Every structure is written in C-alpha cells, then in structure tokens.
Homo-oligomer: A and B are copies of this chain.
Amino acid sequence: MLEPVLARIDNQLPNAIERLFELLRIESISTDRAFKAECRKAGSWLVEQLNEIGFDASLRETTGHPMVVAHHDGPGDAPHYLFYGHYDVQPVDPLELWNQPPFEPQIIELESGQKQIHARGAADDKGQLMTFVEACRAWKKETGALPCRISILFEGEEESGSPSLLPFLEANSKELACDMAMVCDTGMWDAETPAISTALRGMITEEIVIQAANRDLHSGHYGGAAANPVHILTKILAGLHDESGRVTLEGFYDDVEEVPEDIRKQWEGLGFSTSQFLGDVGLSMPAGEANRSVLEQIWSRPTAEVNGIQGGYTGDGFKTVIAAQASAKVSFRLVSNMDPDKIRAAFHDYVKSKLPEDCSVEFIRHGTGAAAIQLDYTLPELKKAAAALEDEWGKPAAMIAMGGSVPIVGEFKRRLGMESLMVGFGLENDCIHSPNEKYEMTSFHKGTRSWARILAALAE
C-alpha cells in the first residue's frame, strides 16, 4: 500500500505547497500580543484542514492562544501515536534584513536548481508539521485509512514559552496519552542525511530588570556619583562566564554528565566541520568552553546566553543620560540531569549578590523552563523509524543530539509517560529565528514521504 501513497505525495506536491503557503501567510507571532487574532486564524486553518482529511479536529481554548486537537482511528490493534507541532512563529525583526516580506512565501530556485521555500515559519515549524499532515492526507485519500491510530496536538505558544501547555496536558491527559509521541521540530544531520534526535538540551529563560535611581539622570550632573544600572548589569552579565568560558553560577555543573565514550565516538564519525559550521555564519573561533569540541559545546554542554540587553538611550544620536533601569533577557541551556529550578535559583542568588544595596532587581519569568531529554536507544520505534528514513533517503539515519530545546518532549514524558520520536527535516542554514528563514523543498517533499514510510513501518 505504501507505493501508491508515495506516488500520490509526488503527484500532489504542488497542491501541498499551495496549502503550506496558505498557512505561511498567516502572521501567527505568538510572543507579540498584536498578532493574537492571527494566531487563532492559524489554529482554525489547521482544524479545517484536518477535518477535511477526515480527522475529528477542533480548536481548544486556553488562557493564551488556542490548541488544535485532532483524532483519527486506525486498525483495531494498531499503535496509537500523538503527533505534535506548533503553528506559532518567531517575531520577524529586524525586518529590513529580509529579502522579501516574511509572510509572503515564495519558492526561490537557486542556480543549482535547488528549490527553497522562503517565509517566516517555513522551517520552524509550519513546514515541518505540514510534512506530517500531508503524509496523513496521502494515506487517507489514497487508501481510505491511516495505518496507525493518530492523534494530533498543535500548539500556538511554543515560541513564547508555552504557558498554556502544562495545564492543557494535565486537563486532557486521558485524551492525549498515547503509546508514543512524534515530534517534528528538529533537523537532519545534513541535506542528504536524515536524523533522529535522541537528546535535547533543556532551557530556562529569565529577564532581569535592574533599577537604580528613580528617574533618568543627567550624566554630567550625576556621573561619577550615581549608580548606573547599565554598569551593574554589565558587571553581572560579564561575570556569568569565567576566562575559560565556563558558567560561574554556584553548582551549575553539579548535575552535568560527560557524554559516554561510544556516543562521543559516533559524533566524531559524523564528519562535523567546525570551520564550516562557524564559517557559514561569518565566525572562525569557537567561543564557548575551552577544550570542548563544538559538537560537545552545542549538544552536551550547558550554556548561559544573553539574548537581549537594553538600557538608556538607544535612538539616533547621543543622549548623556544615566538610565534609571537596564534589563537583559538571559537563557540557560541545560543538559543531563540539571534541574531548571535549581539553576534558576542559583542565577537569582548570583544576581542579588552583585547588586548594590540601594538598587533593586526584578526577575521576569518567560515560560516554566524545561529539563534536558535523553531518549532510550533501545526503543523498537526508534529502530523502525530509522529503517524507514534510510529507505527514503538512501543513507542511515544519524542518531544525533540537538542544542535547542523542545520543551514539549519533557512534558510528554513527565505528564503523559510518553517517549518522543523526534524526526525533523530542518537544516542548520534554515535561518530559523532569523531573517530570511527558509525550508528546503527536498525537506518538505521527502519529509512528507518519510512520514508516510514511518507510519507504515510503525504499523507493522
């Protein structure tokens, strides 16, 4: 039955792209309140699509952006999988660096003939989630059924810390608990080599706002005497790393495990090129912990990164002001058994310890934080999916780690007792979270075919 399904995917590709474009045109930026209606529109569009395929799909309210939940039966003894994706996207600034409007998707054909889908969300995560939706559509339209029992959960707050996710999982645990989850929000090893992500770094995010004087001051009248919150903030942030690039927070590395030797060897065999990885983005020197390979730095080592900083006058020209406030958004990537709450507490203690007595700090939490994930290598689903991916791509699937976090995977395990099969078709140069985000046409097309194969393999 698989071959006609794959043929249908090939034949219907133009229609599938047109549907993806419809979704990409919706400006579903979850982190900015101005786009609330657009987020809802994206959810509704997915509900409509899934119902059209034959799912029982509906929009489910939360205190934030709505969830999409859908169910479809499978053969009586078939396993039951929950597929997860997110329909929200990152903000688009700086807008002036985009080569096209971010919500007007286009197919760009390179001189090599290679085609790319350009738009915000093309790779993260609209293009990815649509590979699964289109695989289901092909199965259903071609055979009248799906090989497995499938439930779907699409979230609209993944890029803004998923505030509604936990309550929703808890309130609907019976409905959503399946044999295993499938998550399509990760990448391939390279453009030719499929991958299954077996480890993910966790993350906590925190904003700190340092308050010094009760108003902005003239730096001539007060400079040299009054506390400057930008100075305090830069001392705090500069002190987060020591000279060797290690994070200085108390107990930060207590629960960090070294990568097992066999895994480290597998990684070394992947042919990763540090100079190319950094060269692609205009850099040449690894900036993290000394004496660690870049793959270790991004896959198995925790980090502290300042993702945004702001204070004082930042407009045109110059203003000789001592700001009343300065703020920074800081994230910590977590690995192994690092406890998000413990790291957050250590950060709070550190910041407070650096604060002059007459200044204050406010901590603003964005999202609940997520521990790191490590998948069990012996799961039969892992082997079946790997074989299906090899059938499609002609190369063995790499078992890789990912530097980014997919918080849902931890929640599926903790709240619903499910492991997650993380298969995705993104590439490092997809520019997710950046201007000119793209998704390879190959990723979309062969990604859809991959899911069609995986569903067949898991049903056996």
Of B281, B318, B405, which contacts A217 at CB under 8 A?
B281
Of chain B, the residue at the smallest CB distance from A295 is B225
Q: Cβ of A18 < 8 Å from any Cβ of B?
A: no
In contact, A214 and B31 (Cβ under 8 angstroms): no
Interface residues on A, range: 35 or more
Q: How far does the alpha carbon of A309 sit from the alpha carbon of B174 in the complex, in Å?
A: 49
* Chain B residues closer than 8 Å to A217, beta-carbon distance: 281, 433-434
Docked-complex contact A433 and B358, CB < 8 angstroms: no
- The closest CB in chain B to the CB of A213 belongs to B281
Supposing A227-B283, A358-B284 touch, asked if A318 and B314 sit within 8 A by C-beta, the answer is no
Contacts of A307 in B (CB 8 A): 219, 230, 312-313, 318-323
Is A42 engaged at the interface, CB distance under 8 Å to the other chain? no
Question: B357, B428, B433: which contacts A319 (Cβ < 8 A)?
Answer: B433
Contact partner of A230 (CB less than 8 A), chosen from B90, B161, B309, B403, is B309
Q: Tell me the number of copies of this protein.
A: 2
Taking CB atoms, residues of chain B closer than 8 Å to A367 are 318
* Least CB distance, A200 to chain B, in whole angstroms: 9
User: Per a CB cutoff under 8 Å, which of B233, B298, B318 touches A31?
Assistant: B318
Q: Which of B301, B310, B433 contacts A314 (CB 8 A)?
A: B310
A277 near B: Cβ within 8 Å?
yes
Query: Main secondary structure on chain A at its contact with chain B?
Result: loop
The answer to whether A416 has its CB under 8 Å from any CB of chain B is no
Write the chain B residue with the least CB distance to A360.
Answer: B282
Chain B contacts of A284 at CB under 8 A? 357-358
- Whether the pair A224, B434 counts as a contact (CB closer than 8 A) is no
Decide yes or no whether A265 CB sits under 8 A from chain B.
Answer: no
Stretch at the interface among A110-118, A141-149, A237-245: A237-245
CB distance from A46 to the nearest CB of B (A): 22
A residues 420-460 with Cβ under 8 Å of B? 428, 431-435
Q: Are A287 and B230 in contact (CB under 8 A)?
A: no
Interface string of A370-405 (1 = CB under 8 A from B): 000000000000000000000000000000001111
A312: chain B residues at CB < 8 Å are 306-309, 329
Interface: A234 (CB within 8 A): yes
Given contacts A230-B237, A231-B237, A285-B358, contact A326 B309 (CB under 8 A): yes
Q: Among residues 13 to 34 in chain A, which have CB atoms less than 8 Å away from a CB atom of chain B?
A: 30-33
Contact call A213/B283, Cβ cutoff below 8 A: yes
Q: Is the CB of B310 within 8 A of A433?
A: no
- What are 6 contact pairs spanning A and B, CB under 8 A? A201-B220, A219-B305, A224-B302, A308-B323, A309-B314, A310-B310
Given contacts A222-B281, A225-B278, 10 further A-B contacts (CB under 8 A): A93-B315, A159-B319, A160-B317, A203-B320, A214-B281, A216-B435, A218-B433, A226-B287, A234-B238, A314-B329
Closest 4 CB pairs of A and B: A220-B404, A214-B282, A31-B317, A238-B238
